[in-house]
Amino acid sequence: MKAGIVGLPNVGKSTLFNCLSNAKAQSANFPFCTIEPNIGIVNVPDMRLEKLEELVKPERVLPATVEIVDIAGLVKGASKGEGLGNQFLGNIRETDAILHVLRCFDNDNVVHVDGNVNPIRDKETIDIELQLKDLETVDKKLEKVKRAAKTGNKEAIKEQEVLLKLKEGLEAGISVRAIDIAEDDRKELVAPLQFITDKPVLYVCNVDEDAAVNGNEYVEKVKEAVKDEHAEVLVLAVGTEADITELDDFEERKMFLNDIGLDEAGSAKLIRSAYKLLNQQTYFTAGVKEVRAWTIPVGATAPQAAGVIHTDFEKGFIRAEVIKYDDYVSLGSEAKVKDAGKLSVEGKEYVVQDGDVMHFRFNV
């Protein structure tokens, strides 16, 4: 599962990427400093995992992870191939969700590609490029469908109708995710076309230190502008947090965060939000050798969850023993959970819930 960071040059993308991955990608004060797409794997912070570690005292702990891709180089004209645009749009297509960074800080020393700070205009600039790319996809598909529709093929006529609606919306500057289309049509006709502007998005407002907690006027404008998109808006002092991640000492980091009014790093919140944005959830396995968080799509069944560990687990699935996370923690151990009759045995149909502690029985 991949989340891609997008935004205009100099809004703080690579600083954010560094902050998330602790990889030391270049970050210089001029446009186009980050040309190669950078990829990083980040651990998803999860208090529950720490709690299970305390109780089980395993040899090792493995958190869930999300892949983050820093997609630099999106500029005005990108859909026409400007500024290496097409290549970057290709990179975005391969991601499952988008983290759209908007510059919400003033600083005369950091050049803005369009002269002044204006996150709404910046957002539109990026949106338009992505929408133009999707429009190309619609037009290509329309060409094909048109012929079949002319012969009176009912399915083709229906598809043509939906495509025309998408075309109309995109031409009016609306992203696919916000175009009004019936749920069934969305699933059957729109989703397979994998539009860029249909991917779930999270807006990251990059602010200065003093706005880390309450945001600022720019942030308010962003919130207003995206209110119909059903998208989350996150405030993050990217530059400050990047400085804090340079500190090796955990206590020192905490102190600096407290100083700016935060009880945890905004980047931790961002990673959790990205994970949720990908429509993923976590179940745990808890043994003395290893306590581990596993990632599954929301709605996955017990055999599908077992399949994430090993395909043989899915094929040979017999049953799952499930402990609710809260029961595990309040009772303190697997044995005590069993004694209390709180361990449930579930079959193939069981839909795994976020936080379940699972044990699988299977045939090999």
Binding residues for ATP: 10-15
Q: From the list 66, 72, 138, 234, which residue makes contact with ligand GDP (rule: CB under 6 A)?
A: 72
Q: From the list 105, 203, 328, 350, which residue makes contact with ligand GDP (rule: CB under 6 A)?
A: 105
Nearer to ligand GDP, 75 or 162 (CB): 75
| C-beta separation of 47 from 272 below 8 A | no
Interface residues for ligand GDP in 231-260 (CB under 6 A)? 237-239
Structure tokens at 80: 């026409």
State the nearest-atom distance from the C-beta of 269 to ligand GDP, in Å. 16
d(CA 128, CA 133): 9
d(CA 291, CA 59): 8
> Which sign does the torsion angle of CA 232, 237, 242, 248 carry?
negative
- Supply the DSSP symbol for 67: E
Q: From the list 4, 9, 85, 266, which residue makes contact with ligand GDP (rule: CB under 6 A)?
A: 9
State the nearest-atom distance from the C-beta of 69 to ligand GDP, in Å. 13
The answer to whether 266 contacts ligand GDP (rule: CB under 6 A) is: no
The answer to whether 15 contacts ligand GDP (rule: CB under 6 A) is: yes
Nearer to ligand GDP, 12 or 40 (CB): 12
State the nearest-atom distance from the C-beta of 174 to ligand GDP, in Å. 25
Give the 3-state secondary structure of 192-247. Answer: HHCCHHHCCEEEEEECCHHHCCCCCHHHHHHHHHCCCCCCEEEEECHHHHHHHHCC
Report the side by side order of strands in the sheet with 357-362. Answer: 60-62, 290-297, 280-286, 357-362, 317-323, 344-346
The answer to whether 37 contacts ligand GDP (rule: CB under 6 A) is: no
Nearer to ligand GDP, 107 or 333 (CB): 107
Q: Could you tell me which residues are annotated as the binding site?
A: 10-15
State the nearest-atom distance from the C-beta of 227 to ligand GDP, in Å. 24
Write the interaction track for ligand GDP spanning residues 17-36; mark x where CB under 6 A is met and - where it is not: ----------x-x---xx--
d(CA 298, CA 332): 27
Which residues contribute to the site for ligand GDP (CB under 6 A)? Answer: 7, 9-15, 27, 29, 33-34, 72, 105, 107, 110, 206, 208, 237-239
